[in-house]
Amino acid sequence: MIEAREIFLAESPLRNLVRERDQVHFEQSVYALARKVDPRYRGGDWGFYEISDMVFMAPKSLAQFQVLHSGRLISVTPIAFGLNVTLETLRSLTVIDKFDYLSRFRDGIKRIVCAHPEYQI
Protein backbone atom coordinates (compact mmCIF):
# COMPACT_ATOMS: atom_id res chain seq x y z
CA MET A 1 0.00 0.00 0.00
CA ILE A 2 1.23 3.49 -0.82
CA GLU A 3 1.52 5.68 2.26
CA ALA A 4 -0.02 9.14 2.14
CA ARG A 5 0.60 11.86 4.69
CA GLU A 6 -2.21 14.23 5.61
CA ILE A 7 -1.12 17.84 5.39
CA PHE A 8 -2.56 21.27 5.99
CA LEU A 9 -3.22 23.19 2.79
CA ALA A 10 -1.08 26.04 4.10
CA GLU A 11 2.03 23.78 4.03
CA SER A 12 1.17 22.27 0.67
CA PRO A 13 2.72 22.93 -2.72
CA LEU A 14 -0.88 22.90 -3.97
CA ARG A 15 -1.35 26.24 -2.22
CA ASN A 16 1.25 27.75 -4.54
CA LEU A 17 0.17 25.71 -7.54
CA VAL A 18 -3.56 26.41 -7.52
CA ARG A 19 -4.27 30.10 -7.79
CA GLU A 20 -6.17 31.35 -4.79
CA ARG A 21 -9.22 32.34 -6.81
CA ASP A 22 -9.32 28.84 -8.36
CA GLN A 23 -9.10 26.86 -5.10
CA VAL A 24 -12.82 26.94 -4.36
CA HIS A 25 -13.64 25.94 -7.94
CA PHE A 26 -11.11 23.08 -7.74
CA GLU A 27 -12.48 21.76 -4.43
CA GLN A 28 -16.12 22.01 -5.57
CA SER A 29 -15.21 20.17 -8.77
CA VAL A 30 -13.62 17.36 -6.73
CA TYR A 31 -16.74 16.99 -4.55
CA ALA A 32 -19.08 17.02 -7.55
CA LEU A 33 -17.04 14.40 -9.38
CA ALA A 34 -16.90 12.20 -6.26
CA ARG A 35 -20.70 12.02 -6.33
CA LYS A 36 -20.62 10.98 -9.99
CA VAL A 37 -17.84 8.40 -9.58
CA ASP A 38 -19.54 6.68 -6.62
CA PRO A 39 -23.29 7.33 -6.59
CA ARG A 40 -23.41 6.08 -2.98
CA TYR A 41 -21.15 8.94 -1.89
CA ARG A 42 -23.14 11.53 0.07
CA GLY A 43 -20.46 14.01 1.12
CA GLY A 44 -18.21 14.20 4.13
CA ASP A 45 -15.00 15.65 5.44
CA TRP A 46 -12.03 15.70 3.05
CA GLY A 47 -8.38 16.43 3.65
CA PHE A 48 -5.26 17.17 1.68
CA TYR A 49 -2.69 14.40 1.41
CA GLU A 50 0.79 14.16 -0.01
CA ILE A 51 2.62 11.35 -1.79
CA SER A 52 5.99 11.99 -3.45
CA ASP A 53 5.57 15.78 -3.29
CA MET A 54 2.21 15.54 -5.06
CA VAL A 55 -0.85 16.79 -3.21
CA PHE A 56 -4.36 15.46 -3.68
CA MET A 57 -7.67 15.50 -1.88
CA ALA A 58 -9.23 12.42 -0.27
CA PRO A 59 -12.14 11.71 2.04
CA LYS A 60 -11.37 11.35 5.75
CA SER A 61 -13.34 8.14 5.90
CA LEU A 62 -12.83 4.50 6.77
CA ALA A 63 -15.42 3.35 4.24
CA GLN A 64 -14.56 1.72 0.94
CA PHE A 65 -15.61 3.50 -2.25
CA GLN A 66 -16.66 2.11 -5.62
CA VAL A 67 -14.97 3.15 -8.88
CA LEU A 68 -15.21 1.89 -12.41
CA HIS A 69 -11.81 0.53 -13.46
CA SER A 70 -11.11 -1.36 -16.69
CA GLY A 71 -14.82 -1.81 -17.26
CA ARG A 72 -15.69 -3.19 -13.84
CA LEU A 73 -16.66 -1.80 -10.46
CA ILE A 74 -14.01 -2.22 -7.76
CA SER A 75 -13.83 -1.26 -4.08
CA VAL A 76 -11.00 1.10 -3.14
CA THR A 77 -9.74 2.86 -0.02
CA PRO A 78 -10.45 6.54 0.58
CA ILE A 79 -6.85 7.38 -0.48
CA ALA A 80 -7.22 5.54 -3.80
CA PHE A 81 -10.65 7.13 -4.30
CA GLY A 82 -9.22 10.59 -3.62
CA LEU A 83 -6.31 10.02 -6.02
CA ASN A 84 -8.73 8.94 -8.74
CA VAL A 85 -11.16 11.83 -8.22
CA THR A 86 -8.36 14.41 -7.99
CA LEU A 87 -6.79 13.08 -11.20
CA GLU A 88 -10.08 13.10 -13.10
CA THR A 89 -10.86 16.61 -11.84
CA LEU A 90 -7.47 17.82 -13.03
CA ARG A 91 -7.99 16.12 -16.41
CA SER A 92 -11.30 17.91 -16.88
CA LEU A 93 -9.99 21.28 -15.69
CA THR A 94 -6.78 21.29 -17.74
CA VAL A 95 -8.69 21.21 -21.02
CA ILE A 96 -9.92 24.69 -20.09
CA ASP A 97 -7.24 27.26 -20.98
CA LYS A 98 -7.43 29.10 -17.67
CA PHE A 99 -6.49 25.88 -15.83
CA ASP A 100 -3.76 24.72 -18.22
CA TYR A 101 -1.14 25.63 -15.62
CA LEU A 102 -2.30 22.57 -13.61
CA SER A 103 -1.11 20.07 -16.25
CA ARG A 104 2.23 19.38 -14.50
CA PHE A 105 0.33 18.62 -11.31
CA ARG A 106 -2.10 16.38 -13.23
CA ASP A 107 0.79 14.39 -14.73
CA GLY A 108 2.35 13.83 -11.30
CA ILE A 109 -0.92 12.53 -9.83
CA LYS A 110 -1.38 10.27 -12.88
CA ARG A 111 2.02 8.63 -12.22
CA ILE A 112 0.97 7.91 -8.63
CA VAL A 113 -2.41 6.48 -9.65
CA CYS A 114 -0.78 4.24 -12.28
CA ALA A 115 1.58 2.85 -9.62
CA HIS A 116 -1.09 2.48 -6.91
CA PRO A 117 -1.59 -1.22 -6.03
CA GLU A 118 -5.39 -0.92 -5.90
CA TYR A 119 -5.43 -0.09 -9.61
CA GLN A 120 -3.05 -2.91 -10.57
CA ILE A 121 -5.67 -5.50 -11.47
**What is the per-residue pLDDT across 38-58, written as a single tens digit (0 to 9) for each?**
888 888 899 888 887 777 889
At 19-41, the pLDDT tens digits run 666 777 788 889 999 998 888 88
Give the residue extent of every domain in the chain: 5-119
Superfamily of domain 5-119 in the CATH hierarchy: Antirestriction protein (3.30.70.3580)
What is the three-class DSSP state of 97? helix
For the entire predicted model, the pTM comes to: 0.78
**Do 2 and 51 touch, CB atoms closer than 8 A?**
yes
Alpha carbons 97 and 22: distance in angstroms, whole number: 13
